[in-house]
Amino acid sequence: MNILEMIAKAKEEKAKSLELNGLDLRILPDDLFDLEFLEELSLDENMLVELPEEIGNLKNLKKLSLGYNDLMELPDSIGNLENLETLYVGYNSLDVLPDSIGNLKKLKKLNIARNQLVSLPSTIANWQEMEKLSLHDNLLSVLPDALWKLSNLKKLYLDNNSIESISPAIKNMKSLEVLVLAGNQLKEVPAEIENLDSLRELLLDKNDIETLPTSLKNCANLQVISLTENPISPEQVSDLSECLHVKIDT
């Protein structure tokens, strides 16, 4: 069955889910964007360089997966998908995100890992339902203030970027359970991290951290801390480990 037949079948059956993975697609047929009843669409492992603006017609989509393509950008119409809860665009070539992506106010899970992002738009402050955000393996050096406004975020992956500092505003992330910052250029961790009452895992490997704030001892729910390949003293690690009653990997 070729792609047009697959789309025709989905249209006839009013299917809510459609998988078009691994078909070496470079261009998406126009008929695809007539499937307005679709709730899940998967286009992983193709050869897509761009998405047409018509993607915004699929307004009932709750899950859209576009991983492992060659996407250089996302169209402004991505912001029309206001019912979207999960978006996967990992392993592409995105260097920026359109401001309209902030319209996706129902997003709970977003993966943009392994792209070439150098910045994030301020409109991401609208993602107030976001629970898991994967931004690892990009080119981020500065994080926008908008990021720290995601108060319902539970898991944040920022490893393998070029981040030099973390804002004290991280204290607003009261729901954060997992924070991964390994493989960056951090020299310190803000004292305000003590406000992250839900924090269970903190991964800081491969940075330039020489000292940790004493306030970290107040993170009573911390279960995992990793500090391998940092110039921090063994004495400080030992003291922190004893206070938190956890083993710290160094």
80 pLDDT more than 90? yes
**Tens digits of per-residue pLDDT, 20-69?**
999 999 999 999 999 999 999 999 999 999 999 999 999 999 999 999 99
Which residue stretches of the chain are H helix? 3-13, 234-244
Q: In what order do the strands lie in the sheet with 132-134?
A: 17-19, 40-42, 63-65, 86-88, 109-111, 132-134, 155-157, 178-180, 201-203, 224-226, 248-249
User: Which band of pLDDT confidence, cut at 50, 70 and 90, is reported for residue 250?
Assistant: confident
The CATH number of the domain holding residue 66 is 3.80.10.10
pLDDT, residue 235, reads 86
3-state SS record for 4-41: HHHHHHHHHHCCCEEECCCCCCCCCCHHHHHCCCCCEE
Mean pLDDT for the stretch of residues 168-176: 97
Mean pLDDT for the stretch of residues 96-100: 98
pLDDT, residue 203, reads 97
pLDDT, residue 248, reads 82
Contact 62, 88 (CB under 8 A): no
Provide the residue range defining the domain that includes 70.
3-249
> At 95, is the secondary structure helix, strand, or coil?
coil
Could you give the C-alpha distances from 116 to 17, 44, 50, 67, 130, in angstroms and in order?
Answer: 29, 18, 15, 14, 22
Task: Report CA torsion sign: 161, 162, 164, 167.
Answer: negative
Entry pTM: 0.96
Tally the domains of the chain: 1
Mean pLDDT for the stretch of residues 148-161: 98
